[in-house]
Amino acid sequence: DCKVIASEITNDPPDGGVVMNNAMTSADAGSSDRLQPLVDAIKARRDGFRCCFDLYARKHPGAQGRITWQLKLKPDGTFEEASIVRDKSDVTAPQIESCMAELAKSITWARSPSGKETVLTYPFDFKRRNY
């Protein structure tokens, strides 16, 4: 189960890490203030997303390529939907899409500092593995 793989990964910040300043108001918050925590959450669970691709690739030898993935979140960070952007992806298998969406549902996403819905498009580039 790819959600189990993602939850087993720990990404505790190192001692003496970067100090984050959350002193700005939501009116001052730019897109990077919203998107960076989301990108960080995806990167922290990359092995889980990779698992979704690997499950497909085991039955489809030679599968590899870009998957452009779109995530929609409500203002409070609640998962709304996730899908593969088909016209910008080399691999568009429904089983990868549903696995990645299930994984995304299991993640606690940051709320929007501006109180708006968020749409994030994220590129994954999966290389073939030898099994």
pLDDT tens for 67-88 read: 999 999 999 999 999 999 999 9
* E strand residue ranges, the chain: 65-73, 79-84, 118-126
What is the per-residue pLDDT for 106? Answer: 95
Of all residues in the chain, the percent with pLDDT exceeding 70 is: 77
Question: Is a pLDDT exceeding 70 seen at residue 12?
Answer: no
Greater pLDDT, 16 or 6: 6
Greater pLDDT, 52 or 22: 52
Residue 15 carries which DSSP code? T
Greater pLDDT, 100 or 18: 100
